[in-house]
Structures are given as structure tokens and as C-alpha cells.
Amino acid sequence: MTTRMVFSGFGGQGILTLGEIVATIAMKKGKHVTWMPSYGAEMRGGTANCAVVISDSLIGSPIVLSNIDILCAMNQPSIDKFLPKTKPGALVLVNSSIVTEKLAGGANARYIDATNIAVKVGSLRVANMVMLAGFLKETDLFTLEDITAVLEQRFAGSRSKDLIPLNIEAIKAGMAQ
């Protein structure tokens, strides 16, 4: 089975990190994985997205131009750009703090109040982890334990290691939504 995903939003929302975490978890589970980032010239505030492909077999191309199975959209420009490229019935995770209109058509939309929950938890910077919680709730690709292990590995040697508990708190708050 192959799952084609796109994570998209503004630069600075942790979109690339979100996709990288999902890809890393899948890789640790023995899956074939590609992760392909894309961002505009201006990092913070510009557009950013990444494509993640997870498969039980070899992956022919990391490029996801159409037939998206899962779209994680943190803002309206992400919906505008990528929703038309999703499969019928695709799972679409929407940051309802920023995208206020409901999606029309055949999308299987889940609305996650990611930005507002992140602020309540204590930092706008963890909105991506709230979206990750929504991803966790809606798919059977990994567990909270998988996320925790990757977060601890990913941030262990960085100045961000003190944020691991906050990230986990944001994930739990997102799960409770």
C-alpha cells in the first residue's frame, strides 16, 4: 500500500518538521519513504509544503502532483493549491483556526483548531504538533509512543530539546479535541 501526503502552510508553522516527523516514524517502522520539501524565497511567512510518500514497496518518484491521499493544510492558500489535487474522499486535515470556511465537495475533512489550541497550551509554535495529533487520530500509521520517540531523537541535541514536553502536551491537547 502507498500513501501520498502533502503538508502545507506558511513558513514558520513547522510544516517541514511535521512532514519530516511523519516520514521518520514510517522509516523506523520499516516502510519505504520519501520526503520532499518545498518553500518560497521568504522562509517565515512565505509558503512552505512537503510531500511525503510512504509505501510497502519501492517508491518510483517522491513528487506528489496529484492523487493526494492525505492533505494537512494549515492555511487557506494550502487549501486553494492542493485540495484540487486530492483523490476523491481524501483525508483533509484543516487548521480551522485560520481556515474558517468549510470545504465543499467530496473531501473527507477534519477541522482541527490547531493554532488556538497551541496558544492555550503555551506557544503558537506547537500548532504543527496539534495537527500531528489530528493526523494520529485519523490514521493508523503510528502511535503517540512513536511520535514521542522521534521527537526525543529529533530534538535531543538541539537547543529546542526543552520544548519536547511542550510538544507532547500540544499533541495530547490535540488528541482531546
- Using one digit for the tens of pLDDT, what is the confidence trace for 9-67? 998 899 999 999 999 999 999 999 999 998 766 555 677 999 999 999 999 888 888 99
Q: What is the pTM of this model?
A: 0.92
Q: Do the beta carbons of residue 27 and residue 33 sit within 8 Å?
A: yes
Residue 35 host element (H or E): strand 32-39
The top-level CATH class assigned to 2-176 is alpha beta
Contact 85, 68 (CB under 8 A): yes
Q: Which of 15, 105, 124, 104 minimizes the C-alpha distance to 113?
A: 124
Q: Please tell me the predicted confidence (pLDDT) of residue 162.
A: 75
Kindly compute the dihedral angle of the four CA atoms of residues 61, 36, 164, 114, in this order, to the nearest 10 degrees: -100
Question: Which amino acid type is present at position 149?
Answer: A
Show the cell assigned to 122: 503555551
Query: For 89, left (φ over 0), alpha (ψ -120 to 50), or beta?
Result: left
Domain extent listing, the chain:
2-176
